[in-house]
């Protein structure tokens, strides 16, 4: 398997779709419907064509619509979609959205008729650093060109939406600080090219999630001496960042980022399956095993200072995580030889196929 991680999406409560780039650079996928085994086979994958160097980004907009993006070997961002019946523009075909990008894509849907994709690529002609870029799909039509958003970034951006017309995007600046920009339906904030710095310390690329209108949760890894990394948390509710000037330390010694093909990729994932519920997954810096920490509405579980829940595995990059409803979480990890799966279904204290075990799903 190529050096990418999988992407997962759950368009409905009874099914999951999983995407990954194979050894030959093609995109592959497989899917599972409740009560059935994985299709086209437990360790088999179906090709979707293309030639890619980066990991995919997948978004579901309702129970019958999926959108898929990936960075090509030619630095282009490519796109295809499932229209409820078949893959468009064809089973093995893709639409080119633009060239000369280095990191991304990250995609977010703020409604059934709006989709935004973010990448980092060249800034203004006199500026060799990587700027953030955005392109928007509205009512089935792409804007004619990418919109440059300024900034100086390394790594893959993170984006989320709490609904309506609100979109928030985050990136790791070349200064090591996490920077934030938002869209409120009328304009970007703080302005088109300006970004809001979140703290002054050096952090790795963030993960972002929203579980209610007006609420954002942001996770990152504060890098320390000797390569150590402390998991940290910051949140927006209702009209300000908390903690105001700093980040909440959650502990651990987790991987801050993976180095893949000369690029930096964040090693955190997070998901919410209910209001005031947050599940965070990070890779242990030494072993590569997946560690889990949850906010249960009243406190972090396990309690801060007592260590994280060890879920086993050993993955060099990061996991993909998706929720199909309350108390249902599916995690996927990519190792050099296989894609692996772990899940809880109705009981978040009982991980299947076992606390430290993972189900092998084969390799594309």
Average of per-residue pLDDT across 287-315: 91
The predicted pLDDT at position 238 comes to: 83
Q: Residue 253, by phi and psi: left (phi above 0), alpha (psi -120 to 50) or beta? A: beta
Distance CA 51, CA 78 (A): 10
Among 18-32, 142-156, 262-276, which is the least confidently predicted range? 262-276
Structure confidence by residue, pLDDT tens digits, 205-232: 789 999 999 999 999 888 776 667 788 9
Domains annotated for the chain, with CATH where assigned, are 201-254+264-310+326-342 (2.40.128.190)
Average of per-residue pLDDT across 319-334: 94
pLDDT-based confidence at 264, cuts 50/70/90? very low
Average of per-residue pLDDT across 282-300: 89
> Is the confidence at residue 258, as pLDDT, over 60?
no
The predicted pLDDT at position 255 comes to: 63
> Is the confidence at residue 257, as pLDDT, over 80?
no
Q: Exposed/middle/buried for 236, CB within 10 Å: 0-12, 13-18, 19+?
A: buried
> Is the confidence at residue 181, as pLDDT, over 90?
yes
Helix (H) / strand (E) element for 217: namely strand 215-223
pLDDT-based confidence at 27, cuts 50/70/90? very high
Average of per-residue pLDDT across 19-33: 95
Do 281 and 268 meet the contact criterion of CB atoms below 8 Å apart?
yes
CA end-to-end distance (rounded Å), the chain: 6
Distance CA 261, CA 259 (A): 7
Rounded to 5 degrees, what are φ and ψ at 235?
-140, 155
Structure confidence by residue, pLDDT tens digits, 56-110: 999 999 888 999 999 999 999 999 999 999 999 999 999 999 999 988 899 999 9
Please tell me which residue, 334 or 257, carries the higher pLDDT value: 334
The predicted pLDDT at position 341 comes to: 96
The predicted pLDDT at position 1 comes to: 40
> Is the confidence at residue 3, as pLDDT, over 70?
no
The predicted pLDDT at position 265 comes to: 37
The predicted pLDDT at position 216 comes to: 96
User: Which residues, at least 6 apart from 148, have a Cβ–Cβ distance to it below 8 Å?
Assistant: 123, 124, 131, 132, 133, 193
Mean pLDDT is highest, among 124-128, 171-175, 203-207, 314-318, for: 171-175
Spatial CA neighbour of 106 closest among 15, 29, 170: 170
The predicted pLDDT at position 259 comes to: 39
Q: Which two tokens stand for residue 16?
A: 């999951």
Task: Please provide the average confidence, as pLDDT, over all residues in the chain.
Answer: 89
> Is the confidence at residue 43, as pLDDT, over 60?
yes
pTM value is 0.93
The predicted pLDDT at position 55 comes to: 86
Average of per-residue pLDDT across 169-182: 92
Do 304 and 294 meet the contact criterion of CB atoms below 8 Å apart?
no
The predicted pLDDT at position 266 comes to: 44
């Amino acid at each position: 398997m190529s050096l990418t991680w999988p992407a997962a999406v759950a368009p409905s409560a009874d099914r999951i779709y999983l995407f990954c780039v194979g050894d030959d650079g093609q995109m592959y996928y497989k899917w599972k419907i409740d009560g059935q085994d994985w299709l086209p086979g437990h360790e088999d994958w179906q090709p979707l064509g293309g030639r890619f160097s980066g990991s995919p980004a997948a978004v579901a907009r309702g129970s019958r619509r999926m959108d898929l993006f990936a960075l090509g070997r030619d630095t282009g961002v490519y796109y295809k979609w499932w229209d409820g019946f078949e893959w468009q523009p064809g089973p093995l075909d893709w639409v080119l959205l633009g060239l000369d990008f280095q990191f991304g894509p990250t995609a977010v849907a703020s409604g059934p008729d709006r989709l935004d994709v973010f990448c980092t690529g060249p800034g203004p002609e006199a500026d060799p650093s990587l700027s953030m870029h955005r392109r928007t799909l509205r009512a089935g039509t792409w804007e004619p060109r990418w919109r440059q958003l300024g900034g100086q970034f390394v790594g893959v951006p993170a984006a989320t939406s709490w609904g309506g017309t609100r979109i928030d995007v985050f990136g790791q600046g070349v200064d090591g600080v996490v920077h934030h920009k938002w869209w409120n339906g009328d304009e970007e904030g703080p302005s088109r090219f300006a970004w809001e710095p979140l703290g002054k310390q050096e952090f790795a690329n963030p993960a972002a999630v929203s579980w209610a209108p007006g609420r954002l949760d942001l996770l990152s890894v504060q890098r320390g001496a000797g390569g150590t990394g402390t998991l940290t948390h910051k949140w927006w509710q209702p009209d300000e960042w908390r903690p105001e000037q700093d980040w909440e330390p959650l502990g651990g010694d987790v991987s801050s980022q993976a180095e893949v093909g000369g690029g930096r990729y964040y090693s955190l994932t997070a998901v919410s399956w209910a209001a005031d519920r947050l599940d965070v997954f990070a890779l242990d810096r030494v072993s590569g095993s997946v560690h889990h920490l949850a906010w249960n509405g009243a406190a972090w579980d396990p309690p801060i200072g007592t260590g994280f829940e060890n879920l086993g595995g050993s993955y060099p990059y990061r996991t993909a995580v998706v929720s199909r409803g309350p108390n249902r979480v599916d995690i996927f990890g990519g190792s050099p030889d296989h894609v692996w799966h772990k899940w809880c279904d109705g009981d978040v204290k009982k991980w299947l196929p076992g606390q430290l075990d993972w189900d092998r799903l084969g390799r594309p």
